[in-house]
Structure 1
Amino acid sequence: MSDIVLVTFHWKGDTEELQKRYDQVLEHVVAVSPARPLVHLAAPAADGFKVFDVWTNEEIARRMVENPDFNLKLQDFGLGEAEIEFTSVHRMGWPVSASPMYR
């Protein structure tokens, strides 16, 4: 069992506009972040835009999500509230025996 957690942010709306706002806010969010995720992915969605962050544990992830400065930056750049989901990670990465990595 792993303490690793996946946090998914889902903003609904115009995908291109949300992606533009995400691109504008990212550096500001990094500047106020109390920690950094192991993995950060951002992707367009059919109904908006999603961000996937993998954290070492839920406590650290919640500190980020609940950080007032983080949320203020999102609001300042027009992202507002996202649907946020916390998911326990069962496995991260491929088994070492799965070689070669690329075919």
Structure 2
Amino acid sequence: MIEWKKYDPTSREIESHINHLVTDGHRVLIAQLASVVGAVKYSWMINNSWINWVTHYAQINLPAKCIFCKKGLVGEEHERDEEGNAICRPCFLSESDIGE
């Protein structure tokens, strides 16, 4: 479930320059909060265009990726070998294969 937060333009708790989901209750898009050049404020930006209709935002929480193969896999896809090295079953990579 997406955890929507009410957007407060005066809040500095929102991490800037990373993608967030944003909405006005009618549409959902991906935007970044960024400093407005020449002004002492932050606003939402999509493809270098400022938008002023955001009422709520949410962090994007994608599934974790395998640190070995970088695929988005669930934990049960990975196991440990006899020496305790993590192994990714789908790609058969292990910590020793990549020198970690």
Quick check: TM above 0.5?
no
- TM bracket (short chain): under 0.3
| Larger Rg computed on CA atoms | 2
| Higher percent of residues as strand | 2
TM-score (norm. length: structure 2)? 0.26
Q: Which has the higher contact order (CA 8 A, sep 6+)?
A: 1
> By percentage of residues, which structure has more helix?
1
